[in-house]
């Protein structure tokens, strides 16, 4: 029952909530980002990060550094923290934490399948996979020729199995089918995660509903914008939108027929939470849209920490850490390419 | 007597002036030609440097757009391990033709054929047609160094043709980007366009360098001739 979590939450979740709130206080601040943005070389960035919680992961890296090394090591920190929390968690928190990684699992599956289609070496592809999305039989994905084999040989024993019912066909895997498979899987995952959070009830259901609805809406907008000018039909586009969120169902109907960014803007400005995002953009501009969405997401994720005794803090922490890694990637690339004037184009401050 | 002497002296002076003029005319013409070569050389150097700067700006923009696409779509969707290693024909090719300059020397000329010769950004549809006819008709002309067949239809009207060619170019562009997925972000498409522009600039730089070397040779020859006259 909502409101009475304070009585029982700490029995099983108190320790881990304290842990995750401690991790949250280790996120980089605006002062840290200002220092990083003034760095001249990647070694300077490494020196600044050594003084943060990333220190143990970066201090032994030899020069010259590469931007992918910085991202890889920072991701390792998140993976270590996640694994610690997962092994300490009991049900239903352990299932909740696993749900947080299914998105990465889907990305890894698509990466392996796409790379195999392009005749790439499986080992090379495995090195590029996100560590949070790894599972035991992932390397076996390379032998599948179509989605039916993909499901039967590999994915039937993974948590992604239930999501395949909507996209199992015997058609050979090609670029369009893989893209549709990716988005269909992610749609099924988001809807399943949403239902799971609703079953948990309480503050978790309330806060996670808001966060997942925002994720679903953002995906709908990105799918619409990315499919403009492609061979994806309106019906196929409509099928990729999730069946929940603020835009469901009328916003989706309108987005499905949009042919340019200004039409998308016209649809989104009818919804007050998104009006502020699109009002900041000039007409025809799409580059700042990602940053605007990330800023809105960070705001909502930070707000979830204002309440106690719910699981959304774990989801929020992981997303904030991923945003921080994206910031570090952007800053590193701007420094490496000597384009520091553009460094503030995509950095989203968390605090 | 004195008047006759003056007239004779005047006539002698006129004849000498005429002879001098006749001697100076080829020298002046030669000087004009030399100045023209020098001006052309300096123009080509200026254009060459300008093109280099333009290339640098375009490449910087392209790389940043690629990073922006990676930031937006995620590192697992935009990385080198997704590039296609299967054998496929080149979508863009470079044709090298020798141009005869001043009936004396050959100067290589580079032509970029983008997207399987469907579209050349510098040419109109009629020029494209005539170039294709020229390539197919002349047996002695050099063959383009590319694989794949041109796909121009002879039944399309001139007005509809550019639109259809544009559509086909867009499809080819999307197909080449499909290694990263079919639904890619606008930043990745912008990066593709930037690198395409950079490639065009590179070909212009090659042509400008060829012109520059040719005009330099002309200046060098003029200097050699001037030294011989002295």
What was the pLDDT predicted at A6? Answer: 84
Rg (CA), chain B: 28
Distance from CA of B162 to the nearest CA of A (A): 18
Contact B203, B112 (CB under 8 A): yes
- CA B219 to CA B37: how far, in whole Å? 6
Q: Please report the DSSP string for A204-268 in residue order.
A: HHHHHHHHHHHHHHHHHHHHHHHHTTSS--HHHHHHHS-S-STTTTHHHHHHHT--SHHHHHHHH
Alpha carbon distances (Å) from A316 to A153, A210, B73, B99: 34, 12, 20, 65
Which two structure tokens, joined as six digits, stand for B199? 């490639």
Q: Is the pLDDT of residue A76 over 50?
A: yes
Contact B142, B97 (CB under 8 A): yes
Q: Cβ A346–B71 below 8 Å, yes or no?
A: yes
The pLDDT > 70 percentage for chain A reads 96
Q: Is the pLDDT of residue A126 over 50?
A: yes
Which residues of chain A from 193 to 252 reach within 8 Å of chain B, CB to CB? 222-223, 225-227, 229-232
Contact B121, B204 (CB under 8 A): no
What was the pLDDT predicted at B161? Answer: 59
Start-to-end CA span in chain A (Å): 33
Interface test with A, best of B60, B70, B71, B191 (most A CBs within 10 A): B71
What was the pLDDT predicted at B102? Answer: 58
Interface test with A, best of B182, B190, B193 (most A CBs within 10 A): B182
Three state DSSP letters for A122-139 = HHHHHHHCCHHHCCCCHH
The alpha carbon dihedral of A295, A298, A300, A303 has a sign of negative
- CA A206 to CA A310: how far, in whole Å? 10
Least confident of A141-150, A196-205, B51-60, B195-204: A141-150
Which of A119, A179, A346 lies at the smallest CB-CB distance from B85?
A119
Task: Identify the CA nearest to A322 among candidates A104, A107, A99, A34.
Answer: A104
Contact A308, A90 (CB under 8 A): no
What was the pLDDT predicted at B122? Answer: 45
Higher pLDDT, A181 or B26: A181
Give the tens place of pLDDT for each residue, A227-236. 998 888 999 9
Angle of CA points A140, A142, A147, to nearest 5°: 95
Q: Is the pLDDT of residue A166 over 70?
A: no
Task: Identify the CA nearest to A136 among candidates A126, A128, A146, A124.
Answer: A126
- CA A351 to CA A28: how far, in whole Å? 8
- CA A295 to CA A299: how far, in whole Å? 6
- Residue A293 CB neighbours (<10 A): 20
Q: Cβ B81–A128 below 8 Å, yes or no?
A: yes
Residue environment code for A106-116, b if the CB has 16+ CB neighbours within 10 A, otherwise e = bbbbbbbbbbb
Task: Identify the CA nearest to B79 among candidates B90, B88, B67.
Answer: B67
Q: Cβ B82–A114 below 8 Å, yes or no?
A: yes
A346 Cβ under 8 Å from any chain B Cβ: yes
Task: Identify the CA nearest to B108 among candidates B128, B94, B126.
Answer: B94
Task: Identify the CA nearest to B107 among candidates B119, B117, B120, B97.
Answer: B97
Task: Give A337's contacts in chain B (Cβ within 8 Å).
Answer: 60, 63-64, 67
Q: What value of ipTM does the predicted structure carry?
A: 0.92
Contact B95, B110 (CB under 8 A): yes
Which two structure tokens, joined as six digits, stand for A275? 């009006």
What was the pLDDT predicted at B159? Answer: 52
> Which residue from B minimizes the CA distance to A108?
B76
Which two structure tokens, joined as six digits, stand for A290? 């990602």
Q: Cβ B179–A118 below 8 Å, yes or no?
A: yes
- Which residues are registered as beta bridge partners of B13? none
Listed in sequence order, the residues at least 6 apart from A258 whose beta carbon sits closer than 8 Å to its beta carbon are A224, A228, A264, A267
Which two structure tokens, joined as six digits, stand for B158? 């001139």
Which two structure tokens, joined as six digits, stand for B174? 């999307």
- CA A67 to CA B71: how far, in whole Å? 13
- CA A191 to CA A211: how far, in whole Å? 12
- Which residues are registered as beta bridge partners of B128? none
Least confident of A18-32, A137-151, B72-86: A137-151
Higher pLDDT, A139 or B166: A139
What was the pLDDT predicted at B6? Answer: 77
Helix axes A202-227, A287-304, angle to 10 degrees: 180
- Residue A18 CB neighbours (<10 A): 11
Task: Identify the CA nearest to B177 among candidates B133, B115, B113, B127.
Answer: B115
pLDDT bucket at A73, cuts 50 / 70 / 90: very high
The helix (run of H) or strand (run of E) holding residue A187 is helix A175-200
- CA A321 to CA A20: how far, in whole Å? 11
The alpha carbon dihedral of B85, B86, B87, B92 has a sign of negative
Listed in sequence order, the residues at least 6 apart from A155 whose beta carbon sits closer than 8 Å to its beta carbon are A109, A161, A164
Give the SS3 label for residue B110: strand
Give the SS3 label for residue B130: helix
What was the pLDDT predicted at B217? Answer: 86
Please tell me the number of Cα atoms within 13 Å of A332 on its side-chain side: 25
pLDDT bucket at A249, cuts 50 / 70 / 90: very high
Contact A99, A160 (CB under 8 A): no
Rg (CA), chain A: 21
Distance from CA of B128 to the nearest CA of A (A): 26
Which of A230, A287, A329 lies at the smallest CB-CB distance from B183?
A230
Mean pLDDT of A140-156: 83
Give the SS3 label for residue B182: coil
- CA A68 to CA A333: how far, in whole Å? 9
Distance from CA of A176 to the nearest CA of B (A): 6
pLDDT in tens, chain B (230 residues): 677 777 777 777 777 777 666 666 666 666 777 788 888 899 999 999 999 999 999 999 999 999 999 999 998 899 888 888 888 788 888 888 887 665 556 788 898 888 765 544 444 333 333 333 333 333 333 333 333 333 333 444 555 556 666 778 888 888 888 889 889 999 999 999 999 999 999 999 999 999 998 888 888 888 887 777 66
The pLDDT > 90 percentage for chain A reads 73
Contact A335, A39 (CB under 8 A): yes
Place of tokens 């047996």: B139
Q: Is the pLDDT of residue A313 over 70?
A: yes
> Which residue from A minimizes the CA distance to B183?
A226
pTM of the predicted model as reported, rounded to 2 decimal places: 0.84
Task: Give B64's contacts in chain A (Cβ within 8 Å).
Answer: 333-334, 337, 339, 342
Q: What is the residue-averaged pLDDT of chain A?
A: 91
Which two structure tokens, joined as six digits, stand for B149? 């067949």
Which of A227, A326, A333 lies at the smallest CB-CB distance from B183?
A227
- CA A318 to CA B99: how far, in whole Å? 63
Mean pLDDT of A262-267: 92
Which two structure tokens, joined as six digits, stand for A47? 């020196």
Q: Cβ B68–A346 below 8 Å, yes or no?
A: yes
Alpha carbon distances (Å) from A140 to A108, A116, B90: 12, 11, 32
> DSSP class of residue B111?
E
């Amino acid at each position: 029952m909502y409101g009475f979590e304070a009585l029982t939450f700490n029995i099983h979740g108190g320790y881990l909530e304290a842990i995750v709130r401690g991790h949250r206080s280790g996120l980089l601040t605006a002062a840290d980002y200002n220092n990083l943005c003034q760095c001249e070389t990647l070694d300077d960035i490494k020196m600044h990060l050594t003084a943060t919680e990333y220190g143990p992961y970066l201090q032994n890296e030899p020069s010259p550094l590469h931007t992918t090394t910085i991202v890889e090591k920072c991701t390792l920190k998140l993976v270590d923290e996640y694994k610690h929390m997962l092994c300490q968690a009991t049900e239903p928190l352990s299932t909740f934490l696993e749900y947080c990684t299914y998105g990465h699992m889907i990305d890894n599956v698509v990466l392996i399948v796409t790379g195999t289609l392009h005749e790439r070496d499986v080992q090379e592809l495995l090195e590029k996979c996100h560590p949070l999305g790894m599972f035991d039989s992932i390397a076996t994905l390379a032998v599948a020729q179509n989605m039916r084999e993909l499901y039967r040989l590999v994915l039937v024993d993974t948590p992604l199995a239930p999501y395949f019912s909507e996209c199992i066909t015997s058609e050979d895997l090609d670029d369009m089918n893989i893209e549709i498979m990716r988005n269909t899987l992610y749609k099924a995952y988001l809807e399943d995660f949403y239902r799971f959070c609703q079953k948990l009830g309480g503050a978790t259901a309330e806060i996670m509903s808001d966060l997942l609805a925002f994720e679903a809406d953002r995906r709908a907008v990105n799918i619409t914008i990315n499919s403009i000018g492609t061979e994806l039909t309106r019906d196929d586009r409509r099928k990729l939108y999730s069946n929940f969120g603020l835009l469901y169902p009328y916003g989706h109907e309108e987005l499905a027929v949009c042919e340019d960014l200004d039409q998308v803007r016209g649809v989104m400005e009818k919804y007050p939470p998104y009006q502020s995002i699109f009002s900041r953009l000039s007409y025809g501009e799409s580059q700042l849209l990602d940053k605007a969405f990330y800023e809105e997401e960070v705001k909502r994720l930070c707000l979830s920490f204002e309440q106690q005794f719910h699981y959304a803090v774990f989801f929020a922490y992981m997303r904030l850490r991923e945003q921080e890694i994206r910031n570090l990637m952007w800053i590193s690339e701007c420094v490496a390419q000597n384009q520091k004037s553009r460094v503030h184009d995509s950095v989203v401050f968390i605090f | 007597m004195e008047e006759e002497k003056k007239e004779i002296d005047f006539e002698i002076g006129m004849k000498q002036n005429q002879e001098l003029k006749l001697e100076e005319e080829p020298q002046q013409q030669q000087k004009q030609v030399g100045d023209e070569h020098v001006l052309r050389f300096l123009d080509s150097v200026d254009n060459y440097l300008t093109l280099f700067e333009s290339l640098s700006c375009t490449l910087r923009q392209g790389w940043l757009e690629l990073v922006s696409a990676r930031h937006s779509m995620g590192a697992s969707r935009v990385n080198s391990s997704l590039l296609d290693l299967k054998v496929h024909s080149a979508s863009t090719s470079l044709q090298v033709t020798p141009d005869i300059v001043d009936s004396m020397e050959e100067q290589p000329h580079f032509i970029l054929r983008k997207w399987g010769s469907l579209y050349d950004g510098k040419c109109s549809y009629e020029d494209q047609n005539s170039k294709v006819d020229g390539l197919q008709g002349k047996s002695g002309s050099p063959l383009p160094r590319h694989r794949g067949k041109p796909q121009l239809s002879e039944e399309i009207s001139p007005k509809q043709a550019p639109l259809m060619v544009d559509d086909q170019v867009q499809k080819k562009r999307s197909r080449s980007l499909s290694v990263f997925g079919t639904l890619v972000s606008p930043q990745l498409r912008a990066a593709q366009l930037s690198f395409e522009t950079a490639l065009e600039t590179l070909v212009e730089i090659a042509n400008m360098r060829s012109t520059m070397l040719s005009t330099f040779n002309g200046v060098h020859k003029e200097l050699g001739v001037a030294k011989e006259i002295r």
